[in-house]
Amino acid sequence: MQIAALIRTQQMSALEVMAATRQQAERIQVACNPFVSFNWERAMTQARQCDQRLSAGDSAALPALFGVPFSVKDLLNTRDMCTSYGSRAFQHYQPDKDVVAVSRLRAAGAILIGKTTTPEFAAKVLTDSELTGITRNPWDTQRSPGGSSGGACVAAATGVGPLAVSTDGGGSARIPAAACGILGLKVTMGAIPHESWPFHYGNNSSISINCRHIEDLVASFNAMSGAHTLDPWSRRTTTKLSLAPSPQGSPNRKKILFIPALGGQSCDQKILTLVQQTVTDLQRAGYQVDQANSDPLAFDPGIAMQMMAANLAARVRAMTPQQQELLGSGLKILLSEKTFRSDGVGLQADAMARSQLYDRLEGLLTDYAMILTPTLNAQPPQADPTQDQRVLINGEQQGLASWWSHLSIANLTGHPAISIPCGMDEDGLPVGLHALAGWDAEQTLVDLAAQVQRLYDWTDQLPTLA
């Protein structure tokens, strides 16, 4: 990680890094509104303590992320900052401890600078709420950055800290990663403990990572991953990631299945052309590529939508009447319009469909190391919720569900998945390539991201605002 190296070798002080981060954050906050709150007083104090340690000659065994600024999505508990979940109902809620992932980052030397925006309870794929207002895309501020980790991705895309900790329950880290032109890794279920998620069984959400540089993704994954007793899915050894390709990492040993229309949803041609070109370039680089012109998974996105909506309804039911009264109007409308599973047979039918999807996916992954698709099927919609927020796909206006239709597969089955920047469309907006691999195969995804970066170095592409 470059910033940690600069601090460790005293080419820059931790305080200089933090001051520059603060200056950038305050500028981007005005233009894009990616933060709920900041932690500058504590962050500056901790940066000074880093410098004092180095000045005293105590540079032995410095932690990997020594002095590195990071942000946390306002869906994850932090001991020294309020966690509102994007809701007025929890506006002043102060947790008494960090989630495990945040605690591990702090132990690795990283410094928390603030909490990033999320829609209320991460309940939609755009980032706005009655509590925090509208978060905007730095490539085009009239457009949304996507969601629900929109604030995290705007922060990472504009250089407000090299690392943003997010969550992904249906595409929430990958949607805005593609829309903002950065990396978005949804890890294997349990690879990073997610003990604060209230549904351990029937889980669909993972702690996730958003950043611009592969080195930062690797360092942060290694800091946060590993078994913890509070998350039943994390009770296993997690292999640490490396920037060096894995033993099976050479392209000629990687067989890929490219599915342009997973879930039967078409992709806008201007996006599909860029993704197809990247797949062709990967093939020229030595990857073996097959293309499926139909959906071999027979994926029904409705399974994920039903499960996510039912989980949300259960969370709302557990609130006090006073808290329910403070919920945003959009969330109330969503809850009133949805029909939720309440019968045991229906719930088990959904669980069985989820299991069958896992079986079909594992069948494909016996023959292929990865499955590639476009991350998103269209350009981002308008940011303002009072405007038409449909997306345009090949000249036809379609609902938001068409925008990200296939991403929730990885949430239903627990597999790791990543969005990788692969170019800019004709309107100057970033496009993402999506890859899904087998359980605990994050290294395979990192190897692919490194190969794509050799073909198209997105780190040279910055929004004008940055």
Residues 6+ apart with CB under 8 A from 195: 99, 100, 228, 230, 231
Is residue 169, in this structure, part of any structural domain at all? Answer: yes
Is residue 237, in this structure, part of any structural domain at all? Answer: yes
pLDDT in tens, 162-213: 999 999 999 999 999 999 999 999 999 999 999 988 888 878 999 999 999 9
Number of domains in the chain: 1
Instruction: Find, among 67, 66, 84, the residue nearest to 75 by Cα.
Output: 84
The Cα–Cα gap between 417 and 370 comes to: 9
Is residue 92, in this structure, part of any structural domain at all? Answer: yes
Residue of higher predicted confidence among 105 and 302: 105
Q: What is the mean pLDDT of the chain?
A: 93
Is residue 268, in this structure, part of any structural domain at all? Answer: yes
- Give the per-residue pLDDT at 264: 84
Is residue 466, in this structure, part of any structural domain at all? Answer: no
Q: 3-state DSSP call for residue 396?
A: strand
Is residue 430, in this structure, part of any structural domain at all? Answer: yes
- Give the per-residue pLDDT at 337: 63
Is residue 387, in this structure, part of any structural domain at all? Answer: yes
Q: What is the DSSP letter of 252?
A: G
- 228, 195 Cβ separation under 8 angstroms: yes
- Give the per-residue pLDDT at 145: 99
- Give the per-residue pLDDT at 315: 83
- Give the per-residue pLDDT at 163: 98
| pLDDT at position 405 over 70 | yes
Would residue 250 show up in a list of annotated catalytic residues for this protein? no
Is residue 465, in this structure, part of any structural domain at all? Answer: no
Question: Pick the catalytic residue: 73, 115, 124, 186?
Answer: 73
CB environment 247-265: b (16+ within 10 A), e (fewer): eebebeebebbbbbbbbeb
Question: Pick the catalytic residue: 148, 206, 208, 408?
Answer: 148
Would residue 129 show up in a list of annotated catalytic residues for this protein? no
The residue range of the domain holding 391 is: 2-460
- Give the least confident one: 239-253, 306-320, 346-360, 433-447: 239-253
| Residue 404 banded pLDDT, cuts 50, 70, 90 | very high
Would residue 172 show up in a list of annotated catalytic residues for this protein? yes
Placement of tokens 């994850």 in the chain: 76
Question: How far lies 124's CA from each of 89, 168, 173, in Å?
Answer: 17, 12, 12
pLDDT in tens, 422-431: 999 999 999 9
Question: How far lies 87's CA from each of 203, 383, 444, in Å?
Answer: 22, 18, 37
- Give the least confident one: 63-77, 238-252, 438-452: 238-252
Question: Pick the catalytic residue: 13, 71, 172, 220?
Answer: 172
Question: Which CATH number characterizes residue 32's domain?
Answer: 3.90.1300.10
